Structure 1
Amino acid sequence: MHDPIWDTPERLALRESTRRFTEREVVPNIAAWEEAGALPLSLHRTAADAGLLGVGFPEHVGGAGGTAVDTWVIAEEMIQAGGSSGLLAGLFTHGIGLPHLITAGDPRQIDRVARPVLAGDAIVSLAITEPEAGSDVAGITTRAVREGDEYVVTGAKMFITSATRADFITTAVRTGDAGAGGISLLVIDADSPGLEVSAPLKKMGWLCSDTGELRFDQVRVPAGNLIGAENSGFLQIMQQFAAERLSLAVQAYATAQRCLDLTIRYAKERQTFGRPIATRQVVRHRIAEMARQVDVARTYTRAVAERWQAGDDVIKEIAMAKNTAVFACDRVVDDAVQLHGGMGYMRESEVERHYRDARILGIGGGTNEIMTEVVSRLLLA
């Protein structure tokens, strides 16, 4: 059944082009990229040439136009054509690294950072999380002290997506007093003297998405690299969290749908005791339950996303959508591995990759527990 907003003629064409791109460029190479621990920059250029990398960003800054829904259509189709949420994290890191800068609208920053990133010639990452501050964004301690026409940055960041490949890093720093009101955003060149980037961290999943630690030791950053007004960083970060959380919810239900599709195919082909396992009630009922959870997660997340796109205040509902989709994904990927049996435990099985990759979705962008706290506070305010 087609959704009138998510399956317009233009978005059906976008789905088709995304599927062709994924089947041609991603599926034959993703296992090798996971072994390498990162994506090649050439993939970014290829995605830009295919008209996918800049979707969701205005044409006047070098993007391809479209809305957040178009980016989620790409995410759905890329996963369902054989990609993964880890692939999306590495290829579309600019989805979290650029919006603050583009919203601020400084033409020099847009020309120097946004245009080459959206052309696939450079990579930008977002650095917020610290060793002692994850979900507590207001607690960050990386300090930026103004000295003339520069900021001097000292501190550390961890779990930073695409950090080891980044050319630019949108970085949350403390320019004022303690708390949310003292945070600013700076775009920092990755080759700045005093900035140390770790080797890629070894993770459970998202293996083709490199993750690193950053250490800033008296890193001098031009004052012109300040994104927006000084001490407005917390608000800028919070304004972008809604889109990030919805994106993770979309990735969760898309991953669940892909695992459901793979499991249905496998259940029809795999035979035990002379007949396909799809003929056995215990298997059929588990698949039916998988389908129910996928459908509920997709339907609710899309409904919330449409309200958010229309400008409604849906912070509570976004938190509920993320948890709904994540919980469904956790259950479905687990069932998919179980129904694939021993093959589901093998690296050559696609459901094994999704099982590993899905685990981060309930942590990134606000943990399940933080989402529940957001809901409870707004319900009981």
Structure 2
Amino acid sequence: MSSLYFTEEHELFRKSLRDFLHKEVVPHIEKWEKTGTIERFIWKKFGEMGFFGIRYPEAYGGMNLDLFYTVVFLEELQKIKSAGFAAAMWAHSYLAMTHLNAEGDERIKQEYLAPSIAGEKIGALCITEPFGGSDVAGMRTNAVKNGDNYVINGSKTFITNGVYADYYVVAAKTAPELGNKGISIFLVDTNTPGISATKLDKLGWRASDTAEISFDNVEIPLENLMGEEGKGFHYIMQHFALERLIMAINAHARAEYALDYTIEYMSQREAFGTTINKFQALRHTMVEHATEIEHCKIFNYAAVARLDKGEYVVKEATMAKLKSTKVADQAIYDCLQMLGGYGYMEEYPLARLLRDSRLGPIGGGTSEILKEILSKMIIDNKDYKPAV
């Protein structure tokens, strides 16, 4: 099935990326997981290899490649035993930079997008708030015009790369009385006075820097507004399809990694005079998960192909994330069980995989929110439209 979407060039890219990750990243993973800090040199190396510019214009140092190169990028990042490291990379490249490319003017693209592609600047997308969660329209952070500046006040939380970042892409209300029609998007340098970032202590994604950020009378120039004032909610919704597909691809890839590792373990682990891959109950459990994972992959690839053609796939992306993250959690849970006591040990990958995977049904819109979005589309016949 993958041959429908992946060419020989995609597979050569996969091999190159895999070799790079095992040479340059894997030797540092355990240190980064323990310290919770990914050293900046690796961002520069990713930039030098062109990995941050996969889908961005050549004018800014990118390669302008199709979305299946992105799929390869995401899948391979899930197979090096640190979803936290993976999150830092894709949140920079596909959350913050997506907005720079889509809504940033030429100045912003030259000063921020180009250095981001080169790995010289790190970005973070700031949408979620302490009291908002998945309720984007309910955000309280505001931006008020004051002469030649906007003054931003408020807070954001669960922000990936929130401490590492050199710049934030911030959603704030410029007209609170208009609800979701009063949200705008801004570029904010992290060295601007009035910003404070506090690192959060998490169950998983330990290598990733996740922060709560406070904006206290932060002044930015009017030209740091991205796109049109009041269109922020539409921009966010427009890009959620890509974010949800990223989360879905991450989920099927980590589940596949867990399954492959576990099947190999079962072929060597002996009990009662035979390897445990000969026990019917265990075999059937594995093939059930393999079937679910393969279904998710096929669906996810089909949705990516449509998005790559410019189609608006909000329903399919929402379904993909909802299903794939659930399948991944269930598969990894059972894979850990197959290792018995060893599955509970940190020296084996399943313990970390279980913790890291648990964020899947939460980040990028909780499963509960996704079900309600789908309910409106399927039951109430609501027709979501792309931003114009």
User: TM-score, normalising length from structure 1?
Assistant: 0.96
Secondary structure at the residue paired with 1:231? coil
Render the CA deviation track for 1:295-326: whole Å, top value 9, x for unaligned.
11111111122122223343222211111111
Render the CA deviation track for 1:149-202: whole Å, top value 9, x for unaligned.
10111111111110011110000011113311111111111111111111x211
Q: Which residues in structure 2 correspond to 1:90-129 (within 5 Å)?
A: 90-94=88-92, 95-129=94-128
Aligned match of 2:193? 193
Aligned partner of 1:152: which letter?
V
Aligned match of 1:281? 280
Count of aligned pairs between the two proteins = 378
Rounded to whole Å, the distance in 2 between the matches of 1:39 and 1:71 is 21
Q: 5+ unaligned residues in a row in structure 2: which ranges? A: 382-388
- Indicate how the Cα distance of structure 1 residues 217 and 2 shifts in structure 2: closer, same or farther if over 3 A, else same: closer
Aligned match of 1:357? 356
Q: 5+ unaligned residues in a row in structure 1: which ranges? A: none
Find out whether 1:79 has 2:40 as its counterpart. Answer: no
Rounded to whole Å, the distance in 2 between the matches of 1:247 and 1:85 is 13
Rounded to whole Å, the distance in 1 between the matches of 2:318 and 2:90 is 22
Rounded to whole Å, the distance in 2 between the matches of 1:88 and 1:195 is 26
Q: Is the 8 A contact 1:57 1:67 kept in 2?
A: no
How far the C-alpha of 1:132 sits from its partner, in A, is: 1.0
How far the C-alpha of 1:83 sits from its partner, in A, is: 4.2
Rounded to whole Å, the distance in 1 between the matches of 2:310 and 2:41 is 37
Identity score, percent: 39
Secondary structure at the residue paired with 1:255? helix
Find out whether 1:63 has 2:62 as its counterpart. Answer: yes
Find out whether 1:220 has 2:224 as its counterpart. Answer: no
Rounded to whole Å, the distance in 2 between the matches of 1:91 and 1:316 is 26
Aligned match of 1:242? 241
Q: Is the 8 A contact 1:85 1:357 kept in 2?
A: yes
Rounded to whole Å, the distance in 2 between the matches of 1:96 and 1:358 is 19
Aligned match of 1:298? 297
How far the C-alpha of 1:2 sits from its partner, in A, is: 3.8
Rounded to whole Å, the distance in 2 between the matches of 1:180 and 1:318 is 22
Rounded to whole Å, the distance in 1 between the matches of 2:81 and 2:233 is 33
Find out whether 1:143 has 2:167 as its counterpart. Answer: no
How far the C-alpha of 1:70 sits from its partner, in A, is: 1.4
Q: Is the 8 A contact 1:161 1:212 kept in 2?
A: yes
Rounded to whole Å, the distance in 1 between the matches of 2:289 and 2:30 is 26
Rounded to whole Å, the distance in 1 between the matches of 2:115 and 2:310 is 30
Secondary structure at the residue paired with 2:109? helix
Q: Is the 8 A contact 2:10 2:68 kept in 1?
A: no
Aligned match of 2:250? 251
How far the C-alpha of 1:206 sits from its partner, in A, is: 0.6
Aligned partner of 1:122: which letter?
K
RMSD, aligned α-carbons: 1.3
